[in-house]
Amino acid sequence: MIKKLSLVSLFTLLPASYYFAQTTVSAYLKDAEGKPVERAEVDLKGNDNDVTADKIGYFQFVDLKPGHYQIVITKPNYETKVMEFDVMDNEKRKDLGTVTLYSALTSADQGLAIIDNSGSDGEDSSSGQASTVGLLQSSQDIFNRIAAFDLGFYWFRPRGIDGRTSENMLNGVSMVKSDNGNVDFSNWGGLNEIVRYPEISTNHSPSEYAFGGASGIIYKNTKASEYRKGFQATYSITNRNYRQRVSLRYTSGMSKKGWAFTVMGAKRWAEEGIQEGTFYDAYGTYLGVEKRFNDNHTITFNAFASPFRRSTSSPNTQEVYDYRGVHYNSYWGWQNGEKRNERVRKGFQPIFQLQDFWKINKKSNLWTSVSYQFGKDKGSRLDWQNAQNPSPTYYKKLPSYYMNSITYNAYHNNTDPSLYTQLKEGYDQALQDWTSNNTDVTQLNWNNLYAANRNSANGSAKYFLVNDVSDDKVFNAATHYTYNFNDQTRFLLNVSYQNFKSEYYREINDLLGAQYALNVDPFADSNRRGSSGLYNIADTETQKHEGDKINYNYILRRQEVKINPGLKLSIGQFDVFASAMAGYSTSNREGLFQNYLYQNNSLGESKDFNYWNYGLKGQVIYRLNGRNFFVYNGAYFSQAPFLDDIFVNARLNNYSVPNIKSAVISANDISYVMSTPFLKLRATAYIVNTQNDTNVQRFFADGLTISVDNTDTGGSEDKTASAFVTQTMSNVSKRNMGAELGVDVKVLPTLSLQGVASWGDYKYTNNPNVYISSDVMAAPFANLGTAYIKDFKVGGTAQKAFSAGFRYNSPKYWWFGGSWNYMDDNNLDPSAILRTNEFIQNNNSNTPFVNLNDEKVDRYMRQVQLPSAFFLNANAGKSWMLGKYYVLVSASVNNILDNTRYITGGFEQIRSSNGNVDFENDYNSKYPNFAPKYWYNQGRSYFINLQVRF
């Protein structure tokens, strides 16, 4: 911390407290009405010297040596407060003055803390300047808190920013995966009490620990000594993806010999979750060891191991939801009296981390971290060869297929009475099956799959389960150096290195009664007539068994180095934070299969893709006085494409997206912040521009027809792909702009009112290029030209969101709160394929389709807007101190009115990329064969928590 006295949230922990002599530090604790707060626990971090405030709220620490200290003040039903201060040489007494504890207005288990200017009697008091450190990173920022806990439950994403521009750091190193830019939180799943209280730099504001991106930086150190000494047991019940959770944590505290240990175990499980046919079985374990050699040197070891196994649920068309409801899941079916799900994800990727904290001298500190993670993540799914799609929601198995076929035949003057009768009977039977829930039809029919394999010639599998596997090995090293020139100026330097290597392959999971599966492309003859069809021409053994690799096998590698210097300084009424970044990354692919379609560009290593990236961030805080602030955050930086973005079809070949570049992001926001004991307010305006971005979507298409170049004839031909398809948009530009408002008014000492408003406008600002590739295309990819999506809205989140709520806290240690939340202006991301010239151009005549006109094209290309919705949430709790036992019971209910009409996301299905009459007839149907698929809100949910500490 720059300031000598700073109250910060638990989101800004700095575990660098080093001690040297003989000073008494004291303070008085009072509530918002000025009454003493007795029996509050005051924990001196990294030390067993904990005290309890007396009846008049007084506490003191004696015999403290010169150095930097941090204390955590806790009392049931009050907000946790963290306080940092320095003890100077020859300072015999240090009076911290009066520290105000405000009533906890949310569940005590949330662990929220507050920034406050304790000791400030007037707005112009100089002590108010100390609160600006971490001001916008506070968990008590009303907008961020509600956006996370209330709006976030309904998939609201602040500012609409892609989460892949965020940074998540655990014990000094990045947890972002180099292949897709995401963070796999299941690696520490269930360990809530361990990873709680990170430091958060929101949006594009700078951080002391990393440069980050445009959607925040989360930093957490898990030092064993920083957890409350003793045991903490928790039991929870819920109706979400899992049904029950149990955990136990033990912390030894720091021994006289300088050792501290924290261990934790957790389990979450459900025989069936809120979605039909889903289960959940996950464990979380943690071991933390800390050794303090002296006041200047500490080493920690942290290990996370969280194996899990869980199944997933399907997106569906509106037709399917209308028949079976929002909890319907097409991925399961009955087998021997039990529900069996084809989509099961299983993973175990433990993390081992070593961290060294060295106080070089009074002005400088050096933290160094190394980390290694390894393990496999497997996701199962059904595969099939020379057989029909087994999904119960395959379009030819739905009632709409028969009705749309009747329309199709009538349009094309096919009036055969027997065909009409056949289609009408098919429609009536399908409609009866779906409305009556004949599970032989509406769910996977495992018995039919086994029967098909039994009847297969030569024992070859028609249907079989496969695992898509990623086998990761990730090494990280990082260092964090700080040098305090004086109380107003601090220099920072972060250096990080990551070495990412992952092998990807498909393996046979279950042959479903067959003897073997063929490692041969069933579409080989149509893709390249006369070819072998071998997925690996070096392996002539085509019969594969359970555990064997099949279809694809390759390695992705990436090495990245980043250097991030920073400077924080205070000048008069200004606090300034400047942060810079220089980074270099090199990436490649190594194919382990030589695919018959890409014999010259599938096996072996690709060329290296090297990127230099640079960036600059700045924050300026202007203090009008101790309660009112203006804050500016600015950023300009480039970000290299992730591995999944570089290679257009990494499963089969080394081809890359043409002219792929680093994305360039510029972001600016300005805020007015008011922070008083009775009113907290933040009003912000922001704009974020993204250029040169790459957007990759992967999906399964059954019958996708596109025109591709034929390398043998030099002409073009239509290709029908019934396989996985990759759609890549390159040179994408976006603009995210809007305003945010958060208000928290304390109308009574026990009652607070909150309000949040978010108005956004997130749009594509150019017409990018679009490419498509498939596992069954002989060409590496098809260039579909320009996608006309300029001024279309970026999908994936509501662009307008509002919340209003209250929180009441009783002096008898119980609380109750509620909120109204409204979401609007949510859209499906536009399909680029449908918005190219392919849609309007007849490739045979090189003229527009005769059935189209400007009005129809505008209607067919119109973006899918999702319905708005509102939700009511409530939470309540009660805590007790029973001798040495602290007991907390809390409960929350989201979506009280059970609103199941809100669509949280989805995508447009693609079959044909042209707008001929068949597309037109399908589009105009009540239930199109290839309508968008959606995910719906899951309805009312609850969470009940019991916690005991002793």
pLDDT digits (tens, 9 = 90+) for 113-151: 222 222 333 333 332 222 222 233 334 578 888 888 888
Q: How would DSSP label each residue in 78-103?
A: B-BEEEEEEE-TT--EEEEEEEE-PB
Q: Residue 616: what residue type?
A: L
The answer to whether the CB of 265 falls within 8 A of the CB of 247 is: yes
Residue 412: which residues within 8 A CB-CB, separation 6 or more?
none
Residue 867: inside a domain, yes or no? Answer: yes
The answer to whether residue 314 sits within a structural domain is no
Q: Which of 411, 442, 473 lies at the terminal end of a domain, its last residue?
A: 442
User: Is residue 4, in this structure, part of any structural domain at all?
Assistant: yes
Domain-ending residue, one of 384, 412, 442: 442
Q: What is the pLDDT at residue 111?
A: 25
Instruction: Measure Cα distances from 681 to 156, 327, 475, 574, 622 in Å.
Output: 21, 39, 42, 20, 16
Query: Is residue 496 in a domain?
Result: no
**Do 96 and 86 form a contact (C-beta atoms < 8 A)?**
no
Which of 104, 132, 160 corresponds to the end of one domain? Answer: 132
Q: Which of 577, 679, 622 is nearest to 217 (CA)?
A: 577
The answer to whether position 33 is within a domain reads yes
Token pair, residue 727, equals 């759609």
The rounded radius of gyration (Å) of the Cα atoms in the chain is: 30
Residue 353 lies in a domain: no
**3-state DSSP call for residue 897?**
coil
The answer as to whether 83 is a domain residue is: yes
Look at the chain and report how many structural domains it folds into: 3
Query: Rounded to the nearest 10 degrees, what angle do helices 399-411 and 417-436 cross at?
Result: 160
Label residue 882 exposed, middle or buried (CB < 10 Å: 0-12, 13-18, 19+): exposed
In angstroms, rounded to a whole number, what is the distance separating the alpha carbons of residues 279 and 375? 22
> Structural domain of residue 436, as residue ranges?
395-442
pLDDT computed for residue 1 by the predictor: 38
pTM for the structure as a whole:
0.85
Spatial neighbors of 417 by CB under 8 A, at least 6 apart, are none
| DSSP-H helix ranges across 412-544 | 417-436, 439-442, 446-454, 524-527
Whether 20 is in a domain gets the answer yes
End-to-end CA distance of the chain: 32
Query: Residues in the chain with pLDDT < 70?
Result: 1-21, 32-34, 46-49, 76-77, 79, 102-140, 525-527, 529-530, 701-723, 841-851, 911-917
Exposure letters 447-465 (e unless 16+ CB within 10 A, then b): eebbebbeebeeebbbbbb
The answer to whether the beta carbons of residues 333 and 204 sit under 8 Å apart is: no
